[in-house]
Structure 1
Amino acid sequence: MSIYSSKTGVTSILKSFSNADRERAKTAALNKVRFSTPKEKGIVESVRVALEEHNFHLIQEFTYFIREADLCDEEIVTIMRDARKIVHSLTPDFADLVEALLSLNWKKRSTDAIQAYSEFTVDVMVAHNAYIHIGITKLILNWIPNDQESAEWTNGSPSQLVHADLETVHGLLNRILTAVPMAFDVVIDTIAAKFPYFKKPAHVTAGYIHNVLWLMESKPVYEELLLQLVLQKLLILDVNAPRDEIEELREEIDEEDADAMFQMDDVNASPKQPQALDHPIGQMLDICLLKLLKFLDDKCRPVLNSSDDQRVAKSRFFKTLIHIFDEVLLPSHNTHHVQFVIFHVCSIRPAYAEAFLSSLWLKVQNPNVSPIIRHVAVSYIASFLARAKFVPLSTITYYLKELSNWANTYINDSDEFSSKNCSLKANMVFFSVCQAMFYLIAFRARDLTNNEKNLTLLNSLQLSRLAMCHFNPLRYCLPPVATAFAGVTRTYQLAYCHTVLERNARRKLATIYGHEKLMPEETLDTFFPFDPYILPLSNKYIEPNYLVYKVHELDESAECVATETMRRKRGDSEMVEEDDFILADKRQKLSELSKSQLFDKQFYYGTSPGFNQQQ
C-alpha cells in the first residue's frame, strides 16, 4: 500500500500547506482577479500608460470597472478629483472613459460627490468641445421620468424629492451654459431629439415638458425656440386625440355624475373636481396644456408695481408668441385645443387681443399671402370675436365694418372675367370673408340687435348686396351658418336670403353626396378654431373668458321641428333629408305653416360648427 501510494502521490494531496505556500497561493489568487478592481492603478496611472506606452488595456479595464461597479460616494469623489487633474489629457481617444464617467448615477449622492461630478463635467466640456454633446445628452436624459414613476408626478408636477433631484440637474446645466456658450445649439438639438414619443405614459411627456418650461424660465434666451418646439409636439398630441372620442368619454362621465346626483344625501356638498380623461393621449394633452397655460399666464400677466423693463419683457414675449403662432399654429389643420393658448393669453390684456386681431387682419388683406392662410386667418378672426367674452362690442363692430368694406370692394373691383368665374378656388378669400361676417352676425345676434344704434350699423354693412351678388357666397358657406344668418337678417329686415337658399338647394339636388356631406368643391373647408374646449383639467384657464352660444330670440319652437325633420331618413341607404324640396310629401303634416315659414324652420340651425353649445 505504501509503495502504491508513493507511486500515485495520493499521500502528497493530503499534506497541509506550509505558511509560505499558503501566502503564495493567496497572492496568486489576488493577482488573478486584479483586473476586476483596477482602482488600485487609478485613472491617472491608466491614462499615463495609454499616453506614454500606447497601451489602452488599463483604460479599458478602468472603463468597465466604472460602468459595472457599485461605487460609493467616496470612490466617486476620488475618481472625479483625479480625472480633473488630467482633464486636458482626456482627448477624444478616451471618449469611452469620459462617457462612462459622465454616465455615473450622481443625483442622489452626497454633496461632495455631486460637487466633484459637476466640477469634472464643466471642466471636461471647457477643455474638449467634443464632449459637449455627450455631457448635455446625459443631463437631458435625467429630465425623462421612468415609466414606473407616475406616482411621483401629479398632473405634470413632481414630488418634493424629484424636484430636489431636478434642481441639481438644472443647476449643473446652468453652469455649463454659462461656462460653455457653444452648448447653446447642442441643448436645443438634444431637447428636440430626446422628446418622448407621444404614446408614452402621460407623466413621462408632462414631466419632460415641465423641465423644458423650467429651462425657459431660467434661460429666457431659449424661449422662442423651445416654445415653438413644445407647441409642435402638442399639435401631434392634439391631432391624435380625436374630438369625437373625447366627447364620448365626457358624455359617459356626465351620465355617471347625473346618476350620482340622485343618490347624494348632502345637497350642500362641494362641487366635484374635474376628473382626468380616460383617454391616454387626451389626458396627456390636457396635463401638458395645463402646465403650458400656467407658464404663459405667469409670463404675460402684468404685475403690480412692475418696472419698465419687466413690462417691456412681457410685451416682447407676447410678440414672440404671435410669431410662433404664425409659424406653427396658423398653418396647422384639424387641431382642437392647442390654439387656445393664444386665446388665453389674449384674455390677459386688451392690448394683446387687439394686436392678435390686427396681425390676422393684415394677413387677410395681403394678396401676397397664400389664400389658404388668408382663409384660415379669417376663420380665426370670426371664431375669436364670437367666443371671447373679453372682446368689447366696439371691436366686433369695427371688424364687421372692415370685413364688409373689403368684401364690397372686392365686388366693385371684379371685372367681367371674374364675374363669370365664381368658383370656390378662384374666390376663396372672398367667400371666407363673407362666411366670417355671416357667422359672426348669427352668433352675436343678441348683442348686435339690442338697440337702434347697432341695428343701424348692421344696415350699413350692405348685407343684402353681399348675399345677392353674382358670386353667391351663401352657396359656399356651411349650411348651418347660412341658415342662421338668413334667420337673423330676415327677422330684423336686414336682408332676405331665403330665395337664394332655395335656389342653392335646387342646385345641390344633383350633387353627389358622400357620408351625408357635400363634396369639397361645394362648400368651404372651414373650421372654427375656438369651438368649445372639452379638456377638463386645463379648461379652468379657458372657461371664465369663453362665451357659450345662446339661441337667439327667434321662434325657438322651430328648432325642434327643424332638428326632427333633418334627422328623418327614407331608408338606411339614403341621404339625410335636409332640403325643403326633398320633403314635399311631408308638407301636409305642416300645412298650417306658410311656405316661407316651413322653409325657414327647415333650415333653422340646431347644432353646427360654432353653434353646438347652447344655454
Structure 2
Amino acid sequence: MGVEIMNEEAIFYGTADDVLSDLDLIYHFRNVLSAVSSGDREDYEELLGVVNFDRKKNGNIMDNKPFGPDHVAQLVTSFKALSGAVSYIDTVQHGTLLAAIFGMNMWSHGPDVMDALLELIISLAASSGKYVDACLEMLVCNFTPPDSFIHLLKHSRGIAKKHQVLSRVHSALQDLADLVPLSPMRLSPLVIHRKPFLVNATKETIVIYVENMLRLEGSVFGELVRSTMLSGVVDLLLDLDLEIGWDDIVHDDSSKGIFDMELEEIDKCRDDVLNDGGAHPREVCRKSSGGNSFAEKLDSVMVVMFEHLESCKAGGRLTEVFEALLQSFQKTVLTAYKSKFAQFVMFYACTLDPETCGLRFAMMLADIFVCNDNSQHFVRMSAVAYLASYLSRAKFLSTSFVATMLKRLVDWCLDYCNMQEGEVNPEAHRIFYSGCQAIMYVLCFRMRSLTDVPQLRALLFGLPIDSILTHKLSPLKVCLPSVVTVFLRQAKAAHLFTTAEKFSFDDYLLESELSRAFGGIERLDMFFPFDPCLLKISDSMIRPNFVYWSMVRPCDDDEEDNSDDEIAEAFVETNGECIMNDEISKNFGDFDLDDFDSALNKMSITPKDSFNHRLGIALKQPMRMPSRIRPSTSPESL
C-alpha cells in the first residue's frame, strides 16, 4: 500500500505528485541513515526536525490544538519507515535520533502516531538486545501523563485519552514479552526506579502509576513480576504513611491513657475538620497542609489497592496475591517505624477471604512471636502487637479461632514463666511482657463473646492466665496500666480467676516506673497497629468488617453474671485447682460455633467507666478503648 505525502516539505519524501510505496520509503530511510557516516546529514537533520517538532509553538492534543494533519502524516510515515530500517540505526551515529524517539510522549499524540511509534519501539527492541532497556523505559515513562494534562483526567476526554495511551502501552509490553522473554524481568526494576517522587508528584500521578503497577501484576506475565510490583506498591504506601506525622493525626494529651482516646479522638477530629471547611469528619486530623496532602495521596492509593484485591478475589487468584503481600508485609511494614495505615492493606485482603487469608495472617504473626529467636525481639514484639490488634478488631474472625490463638499465646507465656527464676526486668523480659499485654488486650475486646459461649467459656476458664499474671515477673506492674485496668475490671466481672484475692485491683491503676521502662523510649508496648483507620475513603471500606470499642459489650456492663451456674458442669476440681472437664476439652475442636460468630455485630453498649492516670493521680472517666496512639508511642525503628 502506498503512502501519499502532500505538504510543503514533501521533497524529503518525494515530490507532491509522487506516491511512494512502503518499501520505497524504507529504502529511502536506510539511505538517509547510512549517509550520516559519510558526512551527508542534510536529510538526517530534516528527519530530526520532524521527530523533534516544536510542540510549544505548534500546540498539542492536550491543549485541544492537535498537531496538523501534515505533521501527523510525516510522523506516521517516518516511524513506519524507520521500523523497516532499524538495522541501519547506530547508537553512536544516530544517538540524537534515538534520544528523540525514546523521549517521545505518547500523551501528546493521537492514535495513528502512537501506533506507528510503538511499532518502531517494538522493532528496535526485537532487533538488538542493546535497545531493550531503553524501549522498556520509554514505555514506563508513558505510564503517567505530563502535569499539564492532569486536570483533564477529571473529564471524559481526559479519561478516554488515558485509556488510549495505557491500553497501547501495556499491549506493547506484552508484545515485547513475547519477542524478548527476559523483558518482564528487566522491566521490574525499571518500574520501581521510575516511581513518582512522592513529595512533588500529584495525587493523580501517583494513583495512575500504581494502577499501572497493579495492571502489570495482573497481566499475562504477572507471575514474573508479581512479587516486585506488589512489594513496590506496599513500599510506596509505607513511604506515604511515614510522611504523615503523628501530629497530623493525633491531638496528644499526656493525661490520658490509650483507653480514653478512641471516641474522644474522633470527636476532636470532627470538631477540627468542621472548623476547617466542613470536610468529612472521619478524615485525618491534621495540623499542616503537608500532612493533609500525603494523607489524601495515601488514601487514594489504598483505595486503588483495595479495588485491585477485589478484582483478584473475583478472578480466583487472591490467595497467590496474598502470599506475595504477606512476604512484603514481613519485610517492610512489620518492621516499619511508626506505620499508621499501610498495614490495613493486609486487613482488607483478609476481609475478602477470612477462611484462608484471614487465618493465614494471624498464624503467621503467631509463628513469628513464638519462634524463640531472641535476636529478633523487636520483630517478635511487633508481631504480637499486630496479632493482638488484629484478633481484637477483625469482625470476620470466628470467636473459636480467637480462642485458639489466645490459647497459643497463653501456652507460650506459661512456658516462659516456668523457665524463669529472675525478678522483674522490663528490658530483659520485654518479649514476655508483650505477650502478656497481648493476651489482656484481646480479652478486653473478646472476653464477653468468649464467655457467652459455654464451650469457649470452659476453655477460657481453663487457661492458666492467673498463674502467668501472678508470676514473680509481675506483668501486671509492667504492662500498660490502661490495658491492665480494663482487663482486670472485666476479669473480675466475669469471675475469670478462681483466686481473685491474688489481684489487688487498685494496685494496677497507676503508671509505674516499670511500665514506663517497658518497650524502651518509643513505648512499643503501646503500639496497636489496627486501631481505627482515620483515612476518609479507606475507612469507609474497612468499617463493615471492623470492631470499634463502642460495639464491644464488656462483662461488667450487664446484670449480675450467672457464670458459676453456667459453667459448673464444664469444670472438675483436681488437687484444689479448677480445670476443664476432659469430655468438653476433647470435643471442643468439633463444636460448630458459626452461630455465635456474629455476636460482636450485636454489641452496641458503650462501657460504663474506667480510670485515667497521670503522674500518680487516678481520675474516674468513661471507659474507652485505645485507638490512635500518641506520637511517642509507636515501635522503635527496627
Q: CA deviation at 1:315?
A: 2.8
- Measured in 2, the distance between the counterparts of 1:422 and 1:256 equals 43
1:486–1:496 CA contact under 8 A, matched in 2 = no
Q: CA deviation at 1:45?
A: 3.1
Map of 1:465-544 to 2, 5 A cutoff?
Answer: 465-493=467-495, 494=497, 495=500, 498-499=503-504, 502=507, 508=513, 520=520, 524-544=524-544
TM-score w.r.t. the length of structure 1 is 0.74
Equivalent of residue 412 in structure 1, options 418, 423, 426: 418
- Measured in 1, the distance between the counterparts of 2:478 and 2:307 equals 40
Q: CA deviation at 1:610?
A: 7.4
Answer yes or no: is 1:548 the counterpart of 2:551.
no
* CA distances 1:420-441 after superposition (whole Å, capped 9, x unpaired): 2642332222111111101111
2:479–2:525 CA contact under 8 A, matched in 1 = no
Instruction: State the AA in 1 paired with 2:208.
Output: G
Map of 1:138-537 to 2, 5 A cutoff?
Answer: 138-153=138-153, 159-199=159-199, 200-218=201-219, 219-221=221-223, 222-246=225-249, 254-255=270-271, 279-301=292-314, 310=316, 313-349=317-353, 350-368=355-373, 370-414=376-420, 419-420=421-422, 422-450=424-452, 452-493=454-495, 494=497, 495=500, 498-499=503-504, 502=507, 508=513, 520=520, 524-537=524-537
- Measured in 2, the distance between the counterparts of 1:108 and 1:521 equals 54
Q: Which has the larger radius of gyration?
A: 1
- Measured in 2, the distance between the counterparts of 1:318 and 1:522 equals 30
Q: CA deviation at 1:119?
A: 1.9
2:511–2:615 CA contact under 8 A, matched in 1 = no
1:483–1:605 CA contact under 8 A, matched in 2 = no
- Measured in 2, the distance between the counterparts of 1:60 and 1:211 equals 36
Instruction: State the AA in 1 paired with 2:237.
Output: L
* CA distances 1:123-172 after superposition (whole Å, capped 9, x unpaired): 111112222222222221211233344434459x9723322222122222
- Measured in 1, the distance between the counterparts of 2:537 and 2:390 equals 22
- Measured in 2, the distance between the counterparts of 1:421 and 1:187 equals 56
Map of 1:92-103 to 2, 5 A cutoff?
Answer: 92-93=91-92, 94-103=94-103
1:274–1:536 CA contact under 8 A, matched in 2 = yes
Report the RMSD for the aligned CA atoms in angstroms.
3.9
Structure 1: gaps (5+ residues): 1-33, 264-271, 304-309, 567-575, 581-600
* CA distances 1:75-119 after superposition (whole Å, capped 9, x unpaired): 112212331232112132223212213334545655543332222
- Measured in 2, the distance between the counterparts of 1:253 and 1:525 equals 25
- Measured in 2, the distance between the counterparts of 1:470 and 1:561 equals 26
Q: CA deviation at 1:605?
A: 4.9
- Measured in 1, the distance between the counterparts of 2:151 and 2:319 equals 38
- Measured in 1, the distance between the counterparts of 2:628 and 2:447 equals 14
Change (3 A) 1:578 1:159: farther
Change (3 A) 1:316 1:251: same
Counterpart for residue 116 of structure 1: 116
Equivalent of residue 32 in structure 2, options 20, 37, 46: 46
Change (3 A) 1:478 1:37: farther
2:335–2:379 CA contact under 8 A, matched in 1 = yes
Instruction: State the AA in 1 paired with 2:311.
Output: D
Change (3 A) 1:497 1:238: farther
Secondary structure of the residue aligned to 1:562 is: strand
- Measured in 2, the distance between the counterparts of 1:508 and 1:61 equals 80
Q: CA deviation at 1:559?
A: 6.2
* CA distances 1:396-415 after superposition (whole Å, capped 9, x unpaired): 1111211111111111122x
Structure 2: gaps (5+ residues): 1-7, 15-24, 56-69, 252-264, 559-605, 631-638
- Measured in 2, the distance between the counterparts of 1:236 and 1:484 equals 35
Secondary structure of the residue aligned to 1:97 is: helix
Q: Which has the higher contact order (CA 8 A, sep 6+)?
A: 2
Secondary structure of the residue aligned to 2:548 is: coil
- Percent of matched pairs sharing the same residue: 21
Change (3 A) 1:530 1:519: closer
1:468–1:500 CA contact under 8 A, matched in 2 = no
- Measured in 2, the distance between the counterparts of 1:81 and 1:474 equals 77
Change (3 A) 1:117 1:452: closer
Secondary structure of the residue aligned to 1:163 is: helix
Secondary structure of the residue aligned to 1:297 is: helix
